[in-house]
Structure 1
Amino acid sequence: MRPARTNRTQVRFGRVFSCARLIQSFGQATRPFYWDANILHKLKIYQTIYFKFQNDYFWTMISKENLEQFSYLFDETIIDDISNVAQLKTFKKNDIIIDIGQELTHIPLLTEGNIKVLREDNDGHELLLYVLETGDTCAMSLTCCMAKSVSKIRAIADEDASVIMIPISYMTKWFNSNESWRNFILQSYQVRFDEMLETIDTLAFMKMDERLFKYLSDQVKLSASTNLEITHQEIAEDLHTSRVVISRLLKQLEKENKIELGRNKISVLEF
């Protein structure tokens, strides 16, 4: 377990421990929870149970008023159907919305906030693939739902977020019967595909300092603010590099008068 990822690790472990206590309180735990050589395996088991418990119990019903912002995407039929079958879920910043290896039962539709979609290697290092904004859905999760496979990505709330969760059983049904939903799904695939190509181009053809400045510029556009509350470690995780490298390059950008550094804050002067 890597100590550098304190925030996300605390969030994930907090969920796991809460789940463990809940299970024990219902008398369903077969043994106490101890720290030992099999800790990671046990955490994964409890995490899986937590997500199942979370999916079954922590939901808020959604009204048609919550869907008005999607009237330009969907026709009235789909708006009515979503309000009847979908549920609204809220997440705090750094909450894990979808995790690697998680069985997907719902399609996410973002109504507020931003969500980072990341890939993780065997050593636990993450790479930012793309960022979802209001009105977006995750094409990677759509693919997993259609293939009935577990998630290959991790989706984390980049800020407080609200997500409409649509049961996957309706995805294919609406795709075959409703043009507005079909267009939305196909367009989502195209947009995410273009963003994936951009990520590949960035990795293949841009130097790290160029990648860093592009990342900061993209964050400005996403947050609609030139003042970014972000740590060097968080940037390093998103760009799949070390904090030392990011700190050195940020100092270089500051000398070039492109940014101004503060404590856990970066002001972008040029983008």
Structure 2
Amino acid sequence: MKTNLLTDIYKHHLDQTLIDEINKIGVLKNFEKDEIIIDINQTLKFIPLLLSGNIKILREDQDGNELLIYFLEAGETCTMSLTCCIGTAKSKIRAVAESDSTLIMIPVSYMQKWFQNNESWRNFIFESYQNRFDEMLEAIDNLAFMKMDERLYKYLVNKTVLHESKNIIIKHQDIAEDLHTSRVVVSRLLKQLENEKKIVLSRNKIEIL
């Protein structure tokens, strides 16, 4: 199963020789929805490659409040974890399974070796950094220039893309934590979006129209 998933998901990014090597040394791990994959201040010994599912990357302020930075989908890796591996620093982010997810964990020692001698790995890392940089810029723009109702609706639309469904099973409190606001504000804005015929609300479920 590991070989098939690796080939199917990463064949457009990595050459077959590298995929075969990852298959030999990588450790397959499954995480259930809402399970923490990487935590803040954790020393990273493995590089995660996402085979299936979705992961949300969060930052935390000094009061313990979380802010959503971006999502990862199958075929991607967390470049913030790569940065920590390069500098042997502790993680500055929290990675949480947005849905049941399968990852292959690669020992950190292989990262620099491949970066030096494998062009497909090097290109994959550069592309990953560029994609995550663009997403962080978008997150900054959202915070700086978008009103909360616009951020909320964009967040909901992104969720439908991730889960390939117009129906989202989620609590208002979970949305509030991702958007770094209060549950009361989220509930009020969700009602506003429903009045605007953009969504339909039911208990712990939101349908995007």
TM-score range, shorter chain: over 0.9
TM-score by length of 2: 0.98
Q: Which residue does the alignment assign to 1:176? A: 116
Extract structure 1 runs of 4+ deviating beyond 2 A. 62-66
User: For 1:225 and 1:80, how far apart are their aligned partners in 2?
Assistant: 34
- 1:1-271 → structure 2 map (5 Å cutoff): 63-69=2-8, 70-269=10-209
Greater fraction strand: 2
Report percent identity of matched pairs: 62
Q: Which residue does the alignment assign to 1:57? A: none
Q: Structure 1 counterpart of 2:142, which letter?
A: T
User: For 1:78 and 1:268, how far apart are their aligned partners in 2?
Assistant: 41
Q: Point out which structure has higher relative CO (alpha carbons under 8 A, 6+ apart).
A: 2
Gapped regions of structure 1 (runs ≥ 5): 1-61
Cα pair 2:168 2:205 within 8 Å, conserved: yes
User: For 1:255 and 1:218, how far apart are their aligned partners in 2?
Assistant: 21
CA positional deviation for 1:66: 3.0
Per-residue CA distance 1:107-157 (angstroms, 9 max, x = gap): 000000000000000111000000000000001000000010000000000
Q: Structure 1 counterpart of 2:92, which letter?
A: K
Cα pair 2:168 2:207 within 8 Å, conserved: yes
Cα pair 2:114 2:122 within 8 Å, conserved: yes
User: For 2:36 and 2:3, how far apart are their aligned partners in 1?
Assistant: 27
Q: Which has the larger radius of gyration?
A: 1
Q: Aligned-residue CA RMSD in angstroms?
A: 0.8
Cα pair 2:2 2:28 within 8 Å, conserved: no
User: For 1:221 and 1:169, how far apart are their aligned partners in 2?
Assistant: 35
CA positional deviation for 1:63: 4.0
Residue-pair matches, total: 208
